[in-house]
Amino acid sequence: MSGDILLEIKGLRATAGKTEILKGLDLVVRRGETHAIMGPNGAGKSTLSQVIAGHPGYTITEGEILLKGKNMLEMEPEVRSREGVFVAFQYPVEIPGLANNYFLRTALNEHRKHKGLPELDGGAFLKLVKEKMKLVHMDPALISRSLNDGFSGGQKKRNEVLQMLLLEPEFALLDETDSGLDIDALRDCAEGVNTLRSPERGFVVVTHYQRLLDYIQPDFVHVLYKGRIIHSGGKELALELEEKGYEWLTAGVQ
Ligand code: ADP
Ligand code: MG
């Protein structure tokens, strides 16, 4: 049974410069639900991720995004984060000189402060982060390195999932968290998501591959094409797409 609406996207249109990328996108994610978004390259999946995170490079020209009924587009990125939104990007940024543990602890303590919880000191944080790292089979040495700097693809994606496990968002979108991962990393990242799944939370996973959805079983699968959701179904739709491709749905779509 699904809960109340966590995220509601209505008629969203977004541009980057003069190019319109999202062209009237609708999506409703209720608490307890996991949605998969699939679709060909260039459809606008990562743009949607950026827009939800609040990337300043995109302009919303029409439509709205409501987070728990509140206008999310008016919220600064850090407010969205504190309000429980988490986005794992397709290409996580590398920041040489910013220690991973400092970055993660600062983010977590910001959230804790906002919730009226005491901040964690270095020792308490290290204990917590090591616990979470075990869940995603992440090498503890990575916590003292610079953020994503020289991390392998699998290490970066595990680090994104680690951040998510620490922040415990209510709504999380993961953009191609599976791309370029070997089967162990894929399973670990999926396990991280499954650990957080609960009747209070909602997830969107953007993926090209059915194999991720073997681990993270979605309630709904959507096809994003030319900036719009053009088709939706249950988890069996992903299998159908794997078999038939997108052509049968995209043919004739303007
Ligand atoms: P997907 O993630 O589905 O592959 P994207 O959202 O990355 O698609 O891109 C959708 C389209 O928008 C592509 O044609 C891409 O080149 C274009 N696009 C994305 N971001 C920008 C930008 N900042 N400036 C210009 N075009 C962009
Ligand atoms: Mg993309």
Q: How far is the CA of 164 from the centre of ligand 1 (A)?
A: 25
From 13, 19, 25, 226, give the residue whose CB has the most ligand 1 atoms within 8 Å, as the site to mutate: 19
For 153, the enclosing helix (H) or strand (E) is: helix 153-167
* pTM, two decimal places: 0.95
Residue 66 amino acid letter: L
What is residue 214's three-state secondary structure?
helix
**Which phi and psi (to 5°) does residue 131 adopt?**
-60, -50
> pLDDT, tens digit, for every residue of 188-201?
999 999 999 999 99
Ligand 1 touching residue 116 (CB < 6 A): no
Q: What is the pLDDT of residue 55?
A: 96
> pLDDT, tens digit, for every residue of 141-190?
999 999 999 999 999 999 999 999 999 999 999 999 888 888 999 999 99
Which atom of ligand 1 is the closest one to the Cα of 227? 10
Ligand 1 touching residue 56 (CB < 6 A): no
Q: How far is the CA of 123 from the centre of ligand 2 (A)?
A: 37
Q: What is the pLDDT of residue 1?
A: 53
Ligand 1 touching residue 87 (CB < 6 A): no
| Separation of alpha carbons 61 and 15, rounded Å | 7
Q: What is the pLDDT of residue 254?
A: 81
| Separation of alpha carbons 212 and 94, rounded Å | 25
Mean pLDDT for the chain? 95
Strand-by-strand arrangement of the 19-30 sheet: 19-30, 5-16, 59-67, 70-71
Across 216-233, average pLDDT: 97
Q: How far is the CA of 21 from the centre of ligand 1 (A)?
A: 7
| Sheet strands (E) in the chain | 5-16, 19-30, 34-38, 59-67, 70-71, 85-88, 95-99, 146-147, 171-175, 202-206, 220-225, 228-233
Residue with tokens 């993926």: 207
> pLDDT, tens digit, for every residue of 91-121?
999 999 999 999 999 999 999 999 999 999 9
Residue 234 has pLDDT above 60, yes or no: yes
